[in-house]
Structure 1
Amino acid sequence: MVIPNLGRSPRPVPVDAELRPEPGSFRDPANRVFHAGDDVLRALDETATAHWRALAGSTFFPPLVAAGKICGTEELPAGVAFPAPSAGSRLPAGSDRPAGSALPNWAAVLRHERIPFISHPYEWSFAMLRDAALLHLEILRAALSAGFTTKDGSAYNLQWRGTEPVFIDVGSFAPLRDGEPWAGYRQFCQTLLYPLMLGAHLGLAFQPWLRAQVDGISPEQMGPLFRGTRRLLPGVLTHVHLHGSVQRRNAATSTSDVRAQLRAAGYTRELAQATVRGMEKLVRRLDHQPPPTHWVDYQRTCGYSGDDRSGKERFVTAALSTADRRRLVLDLGANDGRYARLAARHADYVVAVEQDPAVLDRLYRTLRGEGERRVLPLVMDLADPSPGGGWRAVERASFAARASADTVLALALVHHLAIGRNVPLPEVVSCLVGFVAPGGRLVVEFVHPDDPMAARLLANKPDGIFPDYRRDAFESLLAAHGTVEDRLELPSGTRTLYRVARS
């Protein structure tokens, strides 16, 4: 059984590849995600297998996969054997499968399209989160019309192909039962709707809230923020206050009792669809344009001359085109995406990391308008990058655990970390090199202490606090981590670019 848009033709299963359980997949005992080489596999129990086969034969699912809105998926032939997970890849506590069990113990195995780079909702901009929410609701509405629902409503069920959101939790689909409410409603509110409300209604950044709690923002946390006239803001009365009071009222009521009450009240599939359409309308109304900052107009205010900019672009282009095409490039401190776009000409995929939410949101909206699917913009402070989160701090992998690139661009970044954030220069270099895969390249820019931008940062620091922030010290650190293959001093004389091969 093959579903369109897997992104590759059927091929042999890598039976000799090490089988590695996905640390973030254990909460649903009916299915579990594993990795085998470059393959993403989902093992299903008997009930989940029956649901999958009904789903694959439905009228709504294959078209959504073909359109790229759900990740490409195929069922592997029966009887394919896999090695047991390695001793170091123990399943999380609470899993119903022991660490030594192999995939044949499950009723069926699916193979999914691999997403180029896994990101988390607290790394997305406002517009990204809203587009993800709208795709989630679109898929749910289509499922309801065909007699299916989703068991989950989490933002973590979505990922990205560049600026195109894609739903990845195929195991979440299940046949719809009469009178059954959407089981994912609470998750949807806590990880998608409430964060959007914080931005649209209060102008607050939602990212710290989502990063702090893997389950998202609760109605109890939202309620105090929306009292008085704020209760009348779109969606607040229904999805915050009413939702919270219903939860408190039914705290001691079982799911089966709630389902029976809904059936008795005449709750139907049509009513569920109308509710989803109402939520779609609400989400489309929610908008937030982060206030502009100094960095929004960086290309005009950064102090580069035309000759500097031209020389820098030639150097970066040469560094990206010196070897085979890159699978992954990281652009750290991407700003308006100028060099991320350049990198996309030489790479399969580019992850553009920018600290400023306003800049990143503008970049996302621009890339989305261009239909760019090879550049993924992410909001992140590199002096405080995403840590591991969730169960045992591995359920949501840290940025450092996910980021291993063939080429890392760190342009006009070092001085912000070393001077602006007081990170010792050896730590900065070690961190940047750590993002480079073995055999990869670091393209890095050193802004000299006498450069206007560095001088501006130093003016806000005590005299003599950075005695080691020097070009010779920086070059020594680079040489300790790899081989400096090329360098260029820009015409201004206050900035130098380096191409470094990691040792």
Structure 2
Amino acid sequence: MVIPDLGRSPRPAPPHVGPRPEPGSFRDPANRVFHAGDDVLRALDRTAAADWRALAASSFFPPLLTAGKVCGTEELPAGSPLRELPTAPASSGWATVLRHERVPFVSHPYEWSFAMLRDAALLHLEILRAALPAGFTTKDGSAYNLQWRGTEPVFIDIGSFTPLRDGEPWAGYRQFCQTLLYPLMLGAHLGLAFQPWLRAQVDGIEPEQMGPLFRGTRRLLPGVLTHVHLHGSVQRRSAATSTADVRAQLRDAGYTRELAVATVRGLEKLVRRLDHQPAATHWVDYQHTCGYSGDDRASKERFVLAALSAAGRRRLVLDLGANDGRYARLAARHADYVVAVEQDPAVVDRLYRSLRGEGERHVLPLVMDLADPSPGGGWRGIERASFAARADADTVLALALVHHLAIGRNVPLPEVVACLAGLTAPGGRLVVEFVHPDDPMAARLLANKPDGIFPDYRRDAFETLLAEHGTVEDRLELPSGTRTLYRVALP
């Protein structure tokens, strides 16, 4: 199995004393993920190693690997120094080690738009539907088992595949409902944003939380009766029943592999029916309402392109406040990968669908409020890394963003600049726009604030803050005279 080349130039990893365990990989004792430099390794115990070799020799897995639907994976040879990994407590040692393709940027499901979550769910079901006839299933059904290459979802939890036992239900069904199906139902049936629900609970939305939202005629909405109410009822009744007993009951009732495949097909049909077009907001049409003249737009684009090309090809670019992705697309010409962050789910969903239609694999759009970015979550707050811990960009674009944070959200200007600098890797570049207080957009924000509340929101104060964090290499005042762009080199 050959790990595909994504055309990325990995950043040289800082020195570490031995391989580092992945904080989010501890729930399955049969396998554990480690980081060794730029390598992503998965250690397998004897049972998991046997399952892997059967999987690699199966008829369904290699085509998925070739198509890029599962992450590139290869077993390391016996003499490889990378196989020297720490042994788990009370373990007899790892039987073998796999090396995985490193995804360009790790994201979390609560940072995805509706269409992204649905496409991830459909890939998960497609893989399961291919696995079942070949005698395999997946132990897990979590949305966290999927990541992205641009707008292309990829299944990453190779350790989740396991041989199928007769009469065995899909062990990942509950996780699938809680982290994929239920969030999609919230959007499609109720028009609710699922992101706060998933961010609040690492294990997703419980049936008991869904039930009260779908009473009366809502019980008849597609999928609700079966996957919310019946699922919740069965789960309560079988709480004291062992897995072996459940398996025996299903086998006695005639539950077959064919029925399992039919169930997955039914889930696929349901997920495809679920759709949600988020209501249009001010931000959807922001590019036409933000007050730029034609000359401003042209000058700004030239400055950004020059800044992106000045330092050579970039490994990772963050476009913060990306809106319709205009500058993220420009950045993709000069970078291996671009993460386009925007707080409005409707804007991100539209951008994702557009990029997906273009077949774009180098731009990942994410939903995130930069005044309340994704924190660390899960066990000890490190199982799911915070955005700041994941963002180590060669270039950060912060265009028409600072005034929204400093004035719109009352974040002190020194904090805004420190945050932007903190997301930029050492030796990287920050390309930032300052909107002057007399600009129409800034004036609109200030109109809703008490007089004199932002005495330090000034261009000279902003430039002083930039100089404290790096060297201003270039600046440009746009023709309108109320906005200035800067390119800052960080030490």
Q: TM-score, normalised by structure 1?
A: 0.94
Determine if contact 1:6/1:71 at 8 Å carries over to the other structure: no
Determine if contact 1:7/1:72 at 8 Å carries over to the other structure: no
Determine if contact 1:3/1:56 at 8 Å carries over to the other structure: no
Q: Deviations over 1:226-263 (max 9, x none)?
A: 00000000000000000000001111100000000000
Instruction: Quote the Cα distance in structure 2 between the aligned partners of 1:194 and 1:112.
Output: 30
Instruction: Quote the Cα distance in structure 1 between the aligned partners of 2:4 and 2:423.
Output: 31
Instruction: Quote the Cα distance in structure 2 between the aligned partners of 1:304 and 1:248.
Output: 58
Task: Kindly indicate whether residue 220 of structure 2 is the aligned counterpart of residue 232 of structure 1.
Answer: yes
Match of 1:97 among 88, 92, 97: 88
How far does residue 80 in structure 1 lie from its aligned partner after superposition?
A: 2.7
Aligned to 2:364: 376
Q: Is the partner of 2:336 in helix, strand or coil? A: strand
Instruction: Quote the Cα distance in structure 2 between the aligned partners of 1:64 and 1:211.
Output: 30
Instruction: Structure 1 unaligned segments of length 5 or more: list them.
Output: 9-13, 86-90
Q: Is the partner of 2:373 in helix, strand or coil? A: coil
Aligned to 1:37: 37
Q: Is the partner of 2:81 in helix, strand or coil? A: coil
Task: Kindly indicate whether residue 277 of structure 2 is the aligned counterpart of residue 289 of structure 1.
Answer: yes
How far does residue 343 in structure 1 lie from its aligned partner after superposition?
A: 0.2
Q: What does 1:5-154 align with in structure 2 at a 5 Å threshold?
A: 5=4, 18-82=18-82, 97-98=88-89, 105-154=93-142
Instruction: Quote the Cα distance in structure 2 between the aligned partners of 1:7 and 1:478.
Output: 34
Match of 2:306 among 318, 339, 343: 318
Match of 1:175 among 163, 167, 189: 163
Q: What amino acid is the match of 2:68?
A: G
Match of 2:337 among 349, 353, 361: 349
How far does residue 145 in structure 1 lie from its aligned partner after superposition?
A: 1.3
Aligned to 1:11: none
How far does residue 72 in structure 1 lie from its aligned partner after superposition?
A: 0.4
Task: Kindly indicate whether residue 289 of structure 2 is the aligned counterpart of residue 301 of structure 1.
Answer: yes
Q: Deviations over 1:51-75 (max 9, x none)?
A: 0000000000010010010000000
How far does residue 6 in structure 1 lie from its aligned partner after superposition?
A: 6.0
Q: Deviations over 1:286-328 (max 9, x none)?
A: 0000000011111111100000000000000000000220000
Determine if contact 2:83/2:96 at 8 Å carries over to the other structure: no
Distance change >3 Å, CA 84–CA 424, structure 1 → 2:
farther
Instruction: Quote the Cα distance in structure 2 between the aligned partners of 1:98 and 1:80.
Output: 23
Instruction: Quote the Cα distance in structure 1 between the aligned partners of 2:468 and 2:53.
Output: 55
Aligned to 2:402: 414
Q: Is the partner of 2:430 in helix, strand or coil? A: strand
Determine if contact 1:332/1:411 at 8 Å carries over to the other structure: yes
Task: Kindly indicate whether residue 393 of structure 2 is the aligned counterpart of residue 405 of structure 1.
Answer: yes
The aligned length equals 485
Determine if contact 1:446/1:496 at 8 Å carries over to the other structure: yes
Q: Is the partner of 1:179 in helix, strand or coil? A: coil
Aligned to 1:194: 182
Aligned to 1:385: 373
Determine if contact 1:4/1:62 at 8 Å carries over to the other structure: no
Q: What amino acid is the match of 2:355?
A: L
Instruction: Quote the Cα distance in structure 1 between the aligned partners of 2:89 and 2:364.
Output: 36
Q: What amino acid is the match of 2:4?
A: N
Q: Is the partner of 1:234 in helix, strand or coil? A: coil
Q: Is the partner of 1:351 in helix, strand or coil? A: strand
Task: Kindly indicate whether residue 217 of structure 2 is the aligned counterpart of residue 266 of structure 1.
Answer: no
Aligned to 2:457: 469
Aligned-pair Cα RMSD in Å: 1.7
Runs of 4+ in 1 over 2 A off after TM superposition: 2-8, 79-85
Instruction: Quote the Cα distance in structure 2 between the aligned partners of 1:115 and 1:43.
Output: 18
Determine if contact 1:317/1:343 at 8 Å carries over to the other structure: yes
Q: Deviations over 1:345-402 (max 9, x none)?
A: 0000000000011001000000000000000000000000000000000000000000
